[in-house]
């Protein structure tokens, strides 16, 4: 047998061995997804981020989206912590009492620009509250917000505090529940995925929800009155997280690469995606001759007065979690919002 043929066979064997080694070395992370097809966060940010993870790690890390959600929607934090899936997005507000310190981001009138408030909140978490260990068992790749939830209902426009009285409204978080109670409504904490059936069956009169989500959850007809609150009644905090042990099992090189495209960058992309998503809902509601109103100045002033005690209530919970000076955290978050808005 000639030398060139021997070399060719050796090269082919070496190539096959290298390919086999690459495949065996690849880490496949299981992603539990609960967002419907077409939902802006999934289409515009999460799915592209998953592709970018594989690209930026040169194929060493791949994320596989499972065909259906693992466990319940409210239980996604536990799903990641317990290793039932590796990657999840969970709503902090679905598990009251677990993220008391970070609940600061749900306080009223903290900010209504998700492309600003999201990155600011992630930066604030990293600098000031990570040390309190509220994410034990998972590694938060990004702490972020979607577009501020607005008020949608099927009874009447909301033009004065009296208009809130008795409305059964789906709440997305502890902060929202407190706010709705103070405003005279009846909050019902349920996942977004159950909202349509609950409104259609008369169990609920409406929902607090980011405008973008009204379309994919088919709520334009079910909730024809929209009220926009300048400054935001609340913000929905979500977290992109990975099981802590799986995170630690990745190489430092891959952790650094994934972190680079997560965090503030991910939070900013979410906020920007929701701007267009919101407008799609407003356009659909206008075409269907539904009511869209911005809360009048008198109503906003009344809401600010009625909801002001929420800051003191949050501060008390934060003290119980070990925060010695809660006001400093409030000041720090507001400062981070200003810094991000100024491009710093």
pLDDT for 94: 85
The residue behind tokens 């913000």 is 235
Q: How far is CA 123 from CA 4, 137, 172, 332, 340, in A?
A: 59, 20, 23, 10, 9
Name all domains of the chain by residue range, CATH numbers in brackets: 25-147+236-276 (3.40.190.170), 150-234+290-341 (3.40.190.170)
Spatial distance between the Cα atoms of 124 and 132, rounded to a whole number of angstroms: 13
Residue 303 neighbours by CB under 8 Å, 6+ apart: 108, 161, 183, 229, 233, 295
pLDDT for 192: 87
pLDDT for 25: 66
Cβ burial, residue 48 (10 Å; 0-12/13-18/19+) = middle
Closest CA to 241 of 63, 104, 44: 63
pLDDT for 24: 43
pLDDT for 7: 35
The residue behind tokens 């109503």 is 299
> Is the pTM higher than 0.85?
no
Residues of the chain with pLDDT under 70: 1-25
pLDDT for 10: 39
Provide the 3-class DSSP secondary structure of residue 58. Answer: coil
Q: Give the DSSP letter string of 157-211.
A: ---SGGGGTT-EEEE-SHHHHHHHHHHT-EEEE--GGGHHHHHHTTS-SEEEE-H
pLDDT, tens digit, for every residue of 265-309?
999 999 999 888 899 999 999 999 999 999 999 999 999 999 999
């Amino acid at each position: 047998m000639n030398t060139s043929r021997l070399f060719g066979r050796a090269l082919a064997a070496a190539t096959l061995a290298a390919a086999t080694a690459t495949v065996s070395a690849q880490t496949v992370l299981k992603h539990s997804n609960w967002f419907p097809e077409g939902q802006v966060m999934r289409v515009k940010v999460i799915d592209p981020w998953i592709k970018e993870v594989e690209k930026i790690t040169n194929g060493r890390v791949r994320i596989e989206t499972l065909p259906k959600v693992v466990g319940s929607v409210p239980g996604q934090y536990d799903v990641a912590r317990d290793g039932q899936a590796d990657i999840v997005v969970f709503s902090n507000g679905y598990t009251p009492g677990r993220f008391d310190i970070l609940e600061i981001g749900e306080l009223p009138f903290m900010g209504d620009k998700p492309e600003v408030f999201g990155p600011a909140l992630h930066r604030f978490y990293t600098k000031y509250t990570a040390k309190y260990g509220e994410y034990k068992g998972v590694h938060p790749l990004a702490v972020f917000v979607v577009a501020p939830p607005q008020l949608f209902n099927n009874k009447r426009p909301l033009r004065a505090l009296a208009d809130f009285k008795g409305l059964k409204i789906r709440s997305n978080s502890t902060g929202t529940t407190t706010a709705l109670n103070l405003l005279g409504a009846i909050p019902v904490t349920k996942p977004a995925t159950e909202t349509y059936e609950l409104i259609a069956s008369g169990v609920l009169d409406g929902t607090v929800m980011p405008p973008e989500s009204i379309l994919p959850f088919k709520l334009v007809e079910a909730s024809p009155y929209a009220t926009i609150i300048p400054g935001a009644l609340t913000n929905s905090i979500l977290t992109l997280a990975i099981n802590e042990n799986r995170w630690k099992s990745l190489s430092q090189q891959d952790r650094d690469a994934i972190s680079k495209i997560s965090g503030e960058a991910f939070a900013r992309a979410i906020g920007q995606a929701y701007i267009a998503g919101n407008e799609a809902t407003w356009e659909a509601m206008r075409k269907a001759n539904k009511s869209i109103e911005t809360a009048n100045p008198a109503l906003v002033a009344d809401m600010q007065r009625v909801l002001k005690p929420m800051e003191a209530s949050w501060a008390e919970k934060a003290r119980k979690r070990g925060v010695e000076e809660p006001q400093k955290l409030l000041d720090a978050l507001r400062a981070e919002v200003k810094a991000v808005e100024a491009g710093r």
